[in-house]
Structure formats: structure tokens, C-alpha cells
Structure 1
């Protein structure tokens, strides 16, 4: 596991903290309707990112709409469904958290919405995962802190307590968004998923505004400036720097750093808006932050179990330090033996579900393009090979090569090994459409690989000339491909 943050990663995380910390103060500063402000923020974000993503990913969008996307089509539909549900949860988050900043203090709203990891841990229990004692201890401390701080808010009137409840509801909605996103992200690319969630969130907030008869975009000059700040800071700069940091650093460490959002927002609220929380609320706020920190750290150390087909044996899951460990090279009594046995038995749905859980876990802890997360792409490629789906295996090995190449310290040996495996699977692919699609990508990857320009395999270099013998092997679909 990577445990150090380099200077660039720390800078990205600090930019993320500062950008996200501007959300509550900007919302409290604006005078326009809060729901209209939430709609405007998402609509502008969608109009800014949507066309750019559609242009950059036009080939991906085209293949999806023409139903030509051969990589796990059923899983893509599953990812889109979870993306729609996640967009709904995101809309609920904005519709509750942003009004709370007007009803309670900026510090209180930000601290309560920062309890999202608490509710995320509780969601994990409903998914069958056992929580360690440290997680439960952190949960109790945070809840007690929220009760103490909210009780002191009660002295300021009922509106402040309602604001606290809305902020907690926003935290729960954000936890739901994260849980749904974890289910969808292994099957949908980041740009496409971001646009999908943003579009769903915008449409649903528009419906809410229309039902509530909220005036749309009838803002004064100050509110327009606040809306522009929400677009630039949390919507664009914050999310971009966060995604950059998650690609280089462990997600757990990033999450701990993000807890700085609450004190930074409180400082901004005090200096800009003159909102200084009462001294009696500070112990509760500190307890909230301490409890959430314990939960985040405990979550990083938790290792989820994996059951076999009968449910009788629970195998410990570890993240190997050598990402090129293939299934047939794994020790005889670990998770890889279980996955290999299930794959050879034809239980590909169960294997895919297990790998997805492990891959999602690795992404959360280590980052989207970390060696630990890339390793599970390689395991999926090996399972596809066992299933006889060589085209899918080649695509997955190519994805692994790309991720190894974009790592902070690329390993040429691992990149070359992935490319050679992708080429081997490409040669065994019978579907000519897949072959023709992957050939130029493979050639480009070999050319990009330093020192390999003259080592492109002859059959790949000559394609589409008829030098490649067609494989008579019939591919068997895996996971709905």
C-alpha cells in the first residue's frame, strides 16, 4: 500500500479542500432561492463539461449508442442504471445540504455533512460487511458530538435545528451516492459517468424547482457571482483536483485530508460572513471530526471476507504487492485459488461480482490508477481468457497497460508484459470486428513503449494484410459480453 503523499499530491488535496470549503460560505452569501442555486450550479457544470466530454469521448459515445461496445455490454447497462440512481442521490444531497447553510452556521453544516463516512460504513453493514470495533467507536463519538452541537444550536431557535437535520440528510445522501458510484464505476469510464450523473442531477433538480414553483435564475448580481464561484471552485476546480489526487494517492489519506474542509469553511465563514460558532458548540464539532477520522482510518484497515460457493469457508482477501501475479501463479490456499476454481467451473457471474468488489475496494484505498487497482483488471483479463473470450481479455490487458503507463513511476517491464499478453489474446480472437478495432490501438501502444518501435509483432505490423490465420476457436461470452 502506498502511504506517502508527494508534493504534487499534497498540493492537489489542499486545492480540493479550499475549493470544497467555499461551497457553504458561497451558498450562505447568495440571496437567491437555494434550490435554484443548486440547479444553476449543476446546470452550468453540465453545460461546461458535457460538450467537452462528448467531444473527447465521441468514439465511446458513438459505440454505446450504436450498440457496438463489445466490452461487457450487460455490465455497461448495469453501470448506467447505478449512475442514474447515483445522480438521484446527488440531487438529494444538493437539495438538503445547500439549504442547511442558510438555516444553521457554515461551520455546523460543513461538519455535519462531513459525517458521510459514518453513513457509508453503515451502508456497508447492510451489504453484509462486518465493521471493526474502531468504526463503531468512531460512529458513537461522532453521533454524540452531533447531538451535543445540535443541542446547543437549539438555543438559537428551531430553524438552526432543522438546518442541522438537513445537513445530516445531505451527508446520508452523499453516502448513498458514493455507494452507488462504487457499483457503477468499474463498468463506466470516469468522464461518461460524470456527465451521466450531472445530467440526471440537473434534470431532477429542475423538476423539484418546478414542483416547488421556485423562481429560476431571477438572481441579483451578488447571487450570480456566488453561482459563478460555485461553478469554478467546488464544481470544476475541486472535482478536478480531487480526481487528480485520487489517481496518485491512497483514497483513505485523501479522505482524512478532506476533513480539513470543516475548519477551513468555518474560518471562511467567520472572516467573510462574521459567523463564529458559539463556544459551547466547539466540543461537539471536535467530537464529530475525531469520530469521522477514526472511521476513515479503520475503514482503510478493514479487509472484507470472501465466501466460497457454499458459504462455509471465508477466505481472507489481501492486496498483493506484485500486480502481475496471475491466477495460475497464485498460491494454493488464497483468494486466487477460489476465483480460478469458480472460473473453470463456469461460474463467471460469481467471479465477476467478487472481482468487482475487490477492484472497488482497491480503488477506494489506493486510487483509480494504482497498481493495486490495475491488478484486478489483469485478474479479470485472466478470467476472460479462461472463458474463451479472447477479445475481452485483450481489451482488459490493454487497459492495464494504459494504467501502468500513466502511473507516477511507470514500470516498463509491466507495460511490456501487458502488451504482450494483449497481443497474444488478440491473435486468438475470432471476431474480426474486435480484431480490426484493437489492431491500431495495439500498434500505437507498442510504438509509444520506449525501445519497442522495432519490436512490433510481424502479424500485428502487417494487419490487415491476410497474414494472420483465423482462429477456429469459438469464443464463449463472459458476463453477458
Structure 2
């Protein structure tokens, strides 16, 4: 997919890189116990962003608190449980990462935490998800790089090695947090789920401080400035710039560019703290960045190109692989790119015309109930979500789920994924009448499409 990188997009990505790169240097600069710093950072972030998120979704919050949004009760309880577990993983991540910056160099801590995609892929294999060979190659390079870089720290003493181990633990905790969040299927919006996770994280860190007797307010002026910097740079400026960039630049490109956080953080630490990793660690750091880049690009290529389209909403969507497509009027350009561009521009009639044309081609080639034809129902659902028509998007995901679960194909995995998308879109709907109309249908379909092992293909006879 071709994407034009204008000056505004490049600036947004670079600002995000610099802002996020301030995390490790600011943490290393701050004095005080790591546990108290982790609590202070999360508490400030929650107090700053939480009320705004909850105000935006105040109707939803009220309904959830009154128990009126239990569209699929089992699913919501499951989502809340995952939110609590994800918040716990997040607390572990912050404590281990903030501790590691005190014991090893900023560059080492940042690079080792950047191995999160490695652990994410390993978690995926535990869940029996198949990974392409290129992903495994990238993971192998990253692991070797981590071993080389950490081996250089062996000569720096046991403290540096312990810092490396804590940084790796932070990466694993972040991967667990991401995996739990991906598995969560709550009947609430993303802001509500985020506030839930960060609230759990903050409360658990507070309890840990109280149990261990860690002082919460005994910070120096420099430490308070560092906490303020952590709030302003990575949490506010970094988050805003990153979300803005994802609206204009493919998510995979942004993820790869964000690996510049390692050298930028090292540069900041050198200029500000006079800190650099030992010379023999640099080859390992470069191998980590190279391996993670290869793994991320390989993972993106195995997904539908639409999943990497502009916009945060598209970045989180995964589609079944469609047939090879081409628009005669757009030579050399991916069909989905034109659909997403028109959808974002609000040209709904043009979007429908393009989808209908491509859908008809696949119906003629593969049949009306084929996965290739069903794919375009999913594309319509994403386009509807972009336009803000969440009720329509939910209906379309339900329709796609019916097609996936119908004989002779009976693909329960894809049907379940579509139902989860419907739950997410229904959580964004403000009109109670739409919710009341679709909730019973959603419940009934979940009963007929139970959880199955991701890679177990159930035949129609078994179903």
C-alpha cells in the first residue's frame, strides 16, 4: 500500500519517538524507590486522563455501573477479569522497567524492553498460533542480540546483569498485558477498558507500597520534576503524537520507526546523564533492533493489507486473507487503500460502489458464501465504523459471523472473531434501541459459536 509521508506526518512520528524516548532517561534521573515512582507515574496519568475518558463515556459508565450493559454477561465478566489481570501485568512492567534503569544503562534497558514483540510471538505459539518463518528468523536474531548485549554487561558486574534481567521481565510483562488485552471481550469501549486496567495497576502499586513500607511522598524536587516530565512527554505528548501519526501513517511503519527510541534514548542519556553502554554491547543492541524489525514486518505481511491501513481503528483489525485484487482505475495500488481513503474522506457512495464491484468479482469467482465474498462484508463493517455508524458496523459483523459459521465451511474461529468485533462496535452505540435490538441476536449467536482452539478446524459433522 502506498502512503504519502508529508511533513506533518513525519513531524508527528518524530515527536512521538523523542517524547517516548524520554521515559528511561527521566526514570534513571529520578531519585526515590522504583515502586513509589511507578505508583506516582500511574497515579498522575490516571488522574489526568481518566476523568476525561470517563466524562466522554459517562452514559456508558452509568449503564455499566447499574448493570444495564450486560449484553453478553459471560463475555463481560470475562473481559473484566482480563482487565484486572492485564492491570496486574502492567504494574509488574512498570516496577521492573523503572528498577532496571537504575541498574543498567538507559540504552540497554530500552533495547531489552523493546523485545516485547519477541515474547508476544512466543505467547502466540503457546496459544498454537502459527508464525511465518521470517518472524522466527527475526526473533532468533533479537534473542542472540540480547544475549550478546547482556554478555557485555557481565563484565560490568552483577548489578548490571540484574538490571538486564529486570528489563527483560518488563518486556515479558508488557507482552502479557498486550496478550490479555487482545483476549478481552468486554461489552465496554476501549477508553473504559483502558481506565479499568490503569486503575487496577495504580491500586495494586499503592497496596504494594503500603505493604512494603515504601514512602510515597518523600520525593526531592528533582524527582517531582521527573514525574512531571514522565506525565508530559511519554504519557501526554507521546500518546497524542502517536495517535495522530497512526491516523496518517501505516501502523507497521510507525512501529518500526518507534525502534529509534533505543538510539534516541541512548543519546539523551549521554548528553544529559553522561551515560553510555559499554562498547561491546552496541552490536547486540543493533541485532535486537534488526531482529524486532524483521519480526514485526513479517507479522504485518501475514495479515491483510487493510489491517495496516491509516488510522488506529484499522490498525487493530485483522481480516482473512482475500483474493488477489486490483482496481482498473487505480493501477498499482491496493484495493483496500482506495476504500479506506474514500471512507475517511466521507465518500460513502464511492466506498459502496468500490466494495460492490470487488465483491461481485469474488462472488462470480468463488461463490456467494465463500470466505472471499464474506471478506467484503467485513470491509463494509470497518468502513461503517470509520463513518461513526457503529450500529451498522455491528450488524455487518453479525452478518459476516453467520456466513462464516454456515455449512459447508463452518469456520468457527472466524465466526467468533466477527462476533467479538460486533461486541466492540455495540459497546460504542449510544442509542439504547439499537442495543436492545441487537443484544439478543448476539447472545444467541455466541451460544451457537462457542470458544474453540484457535487452530482447530471443526468439520461440519463435528459441529
- Residue in structure 2 matched with residue 63 of structure 1 by the alignment: 63
* Partner-residue secondary structure (3-state), 1:259: helix
- Residue in structure 2 matched with residue 48 of structure 1 by the alignment: 48
Closer, same or farther: CA 378–260 of 1 in aligned 2, 3 Å: farther
- Residue in structure 1 matched with residue 148 of structure 2 by the alignment: 148
Structure 1 position 209, deviation (Å): 1.8
- Residue in structure 2 matched with residue 447 of structure 1 by the alignment: none
Q: CA RMSD in A?
A: 4.1
Distance in 1 of aligned mates of 2:85 and 2:202: 13
Structure 1 position 222, deviation (Å): 0.6
Alignment of 1:17-416 (within 5 A): 17-69=17-69, 72=72, 74-184=74-184, 187-303=187-303, 317-318=321-322, 321=336, 331=363, 333=366, 337=370, 379-383=396-400
Render the CA deviation track for 1:112-164: whole Å, top value 9, x for unaligned: 10111111111111222221121111111111111111111111110000000
Q: Give me the TM-score of the superposition, normalised by structure 1.
A: 0.69
Closer, same or farther: CA 476–146 of 1 in aligned 2, 3 Å: closer
Structure 1 position 11, deviation (Å): 2.6
**Range moving further from structure 2, 209-218 or 220-229:** 209-218
Preserved CA contact (<8 Å) 2:112 2:146: yes
* Partner-residue secondary structure (3-state), 2:370: helix
Distance in 2 of aligned mates of 1:142 and 1:477: 43
Closer, same or farther: CA 374–14 of 1 in aligned 2, 3 Å: farther
The aligned length equals 382
Closer, same or farther: CA 28–186 of 1 in aligned 2, 3 Å: same
Structure 1 position 267, deviation (Å): 0.3
Closer, same or farther: CA 252–117 of 1 in aligned 2, 3 Å: same
Distance in 2 of aligned mates of 1:25 and 1:38: 14
Structure 1 position 44, deviation (Å): 0.9
Preserved CA contact (<8 Å) 1:21 1:261: yes
Structure 1 position 19, deviation (Å): 1.4
Structure 1 position 68, deviation (Å): 2.3
Segments of 5+ residues of structure 1 without an aligned counterpart are: 305-314, 342-353, 388-392, 404-425, 427-432, 439-473
Distance in 2 of aligned mates of 1:104 and 1:222: 21
Preserved CA contact (<8 Å) 1:39 1:205: yes
Structure 1 position 285, deviation (Å): 0.8
Distance in 2 of aligned mates of 1:2 and 1:378: 31
Distance in 2 of aligned mates of 1:340 and 1:278: 56
Q: Give me the TM-score of the superposition, normalised by structure 2.
A: 0.71
Structure 1 position 67, deviation (Å): 2.4
